[in-house]
């Protein structure tokens, strides 16, 4: 397919790998964080890291929305699903995320009406088909998914679908990046910026990274050639002593973002004062709630939710994995007590979680010689 095949070209990939090898400074160990779970998945699916010199290390960031949702919010979702007459709709991966007392899938097995949808629009269709039931959409995701939820809420309001509401867990990408950069236990040399989040917010919001922290950022596409080219662009910046935001994904990402999407998000959502992130704790202004104009569609106002903070299981090291402090295979329970079939931590649930990506593509350990 156009826009896909040319970015999986093996010959071009090998040429880029050669240029990366030539551009890297021997003896200097570089850590580059790919912020987005989609990149993590592509890197292991296509073996991109095997084409990199050993002293260029890819560190996996917090950009998988399923992975960063705290257990307490899962519990809140399950509590809503157990309300009489409720149909709770959510994305597929969300059904397998463990709360303190099981998953949404287990709640479904116990009799709660939990249904998987592919888009918020599907949830609205269910609401229209069941006017005698309360239909709640469990919304998660970064700025990529938030416009989709916002458009559906606008549609629900315009069409007067009174039995539809949204349990909003949308998050924003910039505050956790700032929290990571302020973290004393993490040293990074550059960032592969999130491609599709940038389709909405643009590349401009990442300018604080070079300006305030002196690190290069390259917004990248998701195909293997995209990622290799982005690594090369970061190395070239380091080589030249430059530090700026560059856009490798120009075929999709406008530097200013999608103004229509930003407008609809501004209308439907408002920033929460703070939101809890798994492994990262509470981060100011990092989560979205429904704005006052859409308060009547807010499931948190329509239903009683426990709102209890739940600590992560002690054995689980998702927090360190999400901050890039340890590799997934360095977690005590990786591949033994925690597997995609029976996950303990969120990073093992989503296909884009770092642990699941390592597990599914056989990366149980990694040792390479430094160039």
* CB nearer to another protein: pick between 220 and 332: 220
Residues 216, 218: Cα–Cα separation, whole Å: 7
| Three-state DSSP class for residue 310 | coil
Strand partners, 193: 219
The Cα angle at residue 87 between residues 81 and 89, in degrees rounded to 5: 85
* CB nearer to another protein: pick between 247 and 317: 247
Shortest distance in whole angstroms from residue 371 CB to another protein: 27
* CB nearer to another protein: pick between 3 and 364: 3
Question: β-strands 190-193, 164-170: how paired?
Answer: unpaired
Shortest distance in whole angstroms from residue 151 CB to another protein: 5
Edge-to-edge, what's the strand order for the sheet holding 86-90?
Answer: 113-116, 86-90, 134-141, 164-170
Shortest distance in whole angstroms from residue 57 CB to another protein: 21
* CB nearer to another protein: pick between 120 and 328: 120
Shortest distance in whole angstroms from residue 4 CB to another protein: 7
Shortest distance in whole angstroms from residue 67 CB to another protein: 9
* CB nearer to another protein: pick between 297 and 356: 356
Q: What is the CA radius of gyration of the chain?
A: 21
* CB nearer to another protein: pick between 9 and 49: 9
State the residues that interact with another protein by CB under 8 A: 1-4, 7, 36-39, 41, 45, 63-66, 91-94, 116, 118-122, 140-142, 144-145, 147-148, 151-152, 194-197, 199-200, 221-222, 226, 229, 248-252, 254, 258, 260-261, 264, 340, 350-352, 356, 360
* CB nearer to another protein: pick between 147 and 319: 147
Structure tokens at 59: 């560190």
- Which letter, b or e, does each residue of 91-109 get, where b requires 16 or more Cβ atoms within 10 Å of its Cβ? bebbbbbbbeeebbbbbbe
Sign, CA dihedral 266-268-274-277, equals negative
Q: Residue 313 in contact with residue 324, Cβ under 8 Å?
A: no
Residues 251, 221: Cα–Cα separation, whole Å: 9
Shortest distance in whole angstroms from residue 91 CB to another protein: 3
Shortest distance in whole angstroms from residue 26 CB to another protein: 29
Residues 32, 192: Cα–Cα separation, whole Å: 7
């Amino acid at each position: 397919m156009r826009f896909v095949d040319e970015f999986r070209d093996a010959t071009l990939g090998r040429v880029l790998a050669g240029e990366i090898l030539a551009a890297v400074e021997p003896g200097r160990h570089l850590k580059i964080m790919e912020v987005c779970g989609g990149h993590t998945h592509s890197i292991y699916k296509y073996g991109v890291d095997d084409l990199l010199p050993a002293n260029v290390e890819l560190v996996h960031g917090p950009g998988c929305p399923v992975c960063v949702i705290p257990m307490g919010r899962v519990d809140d979702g399950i509590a809503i699903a157990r309300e009489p007459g409720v149909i709770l709709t959510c994305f597929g991966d969300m059904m397998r995320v463990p709360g303190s007392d099981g998953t949404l899938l287990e709640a479904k097995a116990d009799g709660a009406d939990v249904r998987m949808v592919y888009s918020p629009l599907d949830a609205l269709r269910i609401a229209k088909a069941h006017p005698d039931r309360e239909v709640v959409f469990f919304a998660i995701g970064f700025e990529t998914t938030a416009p989709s939820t916002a458009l559906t809420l606008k549609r629900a309001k315009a069409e007067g679908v009174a039995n539809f509401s949204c349990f909003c867990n949308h998050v924003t990408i910039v505050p956790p990046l700032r929290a990571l950069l302020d973290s004393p236990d993490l040293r990074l040399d550059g960032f592969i910026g999130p491609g599709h989040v940038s389709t909405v917010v643009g590349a401009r919001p990442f300018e604080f990274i070079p300006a305030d922290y002196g690190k290069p950022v390259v917004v990248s596409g998701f195909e293997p050639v995209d990622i290799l080219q982005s690594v090369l662009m970061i190395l070239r910046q380091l080589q030249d002593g430059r530090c700026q935001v560059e856009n490798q994904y120009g075929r999709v990402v406008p530097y200013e973002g999608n103004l229509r999407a930003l407008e609809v998000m501004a209308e439907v959502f408002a920033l929460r004062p703070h939101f809890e992130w798994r492994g990262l704790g509470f981060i100011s202004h990092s989560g979205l709630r429904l704005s006052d104009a859409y308060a009547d569609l807010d499931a948190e106002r329509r239903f009683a939710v426990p709102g209890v903070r739940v600590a992560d299981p002690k054995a689980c090291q998702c927090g360190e994995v999400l901050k890039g402090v340890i590799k997934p295979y360095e977690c005590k329970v990786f591949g033994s007590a925690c597997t995609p079939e029976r996950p303990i931590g969120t990073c093992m649930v989503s296909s884009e979680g770092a642990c699941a990506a390592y597990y599914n593509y056989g990366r149980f350990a990694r040792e390479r010689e430094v160039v």
